[in-house]
Amino acid sequence: MSHTSNPVFARIAGTGSYLPQQVLSNDDLVKRGVETSDEWITSRTGIRQRHIAAEGELTSDLALQASLRALEAAGVAAEDIDLIVVGTTTPDLIFPSTATILQHKLGVAGCMAFDVNAACSGFIYALTVADKFIRSGAAGTVLVVGAETLTRMLDWNDRNTCVLFGDGAGAVVLKADHETGILSTHMHADGGKKDLLWNPVGVSAGFKVDEHNAGVRVQMAGNDVFKYAVKALDSVVDEALVANGLDKSALDWLVPHQANLRIIEATARRLDMPMERVIVTVDRHGNTSSGSVPLALDEAVRSGKVQHGQLLLLEAFGGGFAWGSVLLRY
């Protein structure tokens, strides 16, 4: 008889997401004085609007709402959580971690809780960590969240970055199960490309604003990032299929990081997947960094597109560079 404390798989038992109330359209950006147009943004990125966190609305607040919906969907009480992992690059505070703040807001204490910072790949990294905890028998129920308030560190005069990002959060509850769940995860990083997508302000590096770093602002070399992202995602998608001895035709859904519609379309072409089998939310959400994959997944599940037993490939690429993929049966 198999022993439940050492299960084979981490299975998604429930999903949830949350978007702040305020919607900022491309036309709204133009009205704010950004030198751009709806046509310029849409043709290059596929983004039409994004959500903006309200004043005083924190990353942990977004995470809480997404978590409550995921717990409800999973039929799991907060007290049953063994571990909370939050993927975020915009924590409430330097410390303590947003995961511990979320834990307190959920009304529980005692279980492990920590953040993972892998920029836009934060949720994929966090999901990988949670999978290992469950496979090792160290946890039976894990809350995994991707949550961001990235608009707090945008330069609204920089049209190359401010049009891209939005705020939001997504969450999943993973449970130990003998039924198939996460099949494999594949993570990578390359710290040598740091200056192509980064925020130059920090703690050890210093907070001071001078002529060399324009404050707490995202800086990106868009064309370079695009080229690296397409190549890296191609390779990590192949890696997942090869590791599981699967042909690309076996995939039911691609749930990609929602950064740019052109990157998503390039990955879909590589997989010979029609766009009808690719979950796309970038047009309405913008790039919510680590929130994007779980937001897209929750929408796909709640809309009835993703069905039990289907094969899903999740992938993301972000600052670091850090990138990865997760192959799972829903």
103-114 in b/e form (b: 16+ CB < 10 A) is bebbebeebbbe
Residue 165: which of 315, 31, 50, 42 has the closest Cα?
50
Cβ-based neighbours of 159, under 8 Å, separated by 6 or more: 34, 35, 36
Query: Angle CA(202)–CA(124)–CA(226) in degrees, nearest 5?
Result: 70
Cα–Cα distance measured from residue 167 to residue 178, given in angstroms and rounded to the nearest whole number = 35
Choice among 51, 186, 257, 285 that is catalytic: 257
213 is annotated as an active-site residue: no
Q: Is 188 a catalytic residue?
A: no
* Half-sphere exposure (Cβ direction) of 235: Cα atoms closer than 13 Å: 11
> How far from each other are the two terminal CA atoms of the chain, in whole angstroms?
25
CA–CA separation, 99 and 106 (whole Å): 10
Q: Which residues, at least 6 apart from 118, have a Cβ–Cβ distance to it below 8 Å?
A: 87, 89, 124, 125, 189, 290, 318, 320, 322, 324
Q: Are 19 and 168 in contact (CB under 8 A)?
A: yes
Tokens in use for 98? 């947003």
Catalytic residue among 26, 111, 120, 199: 120
Enzyme catalytic residues:
120, 257, 287
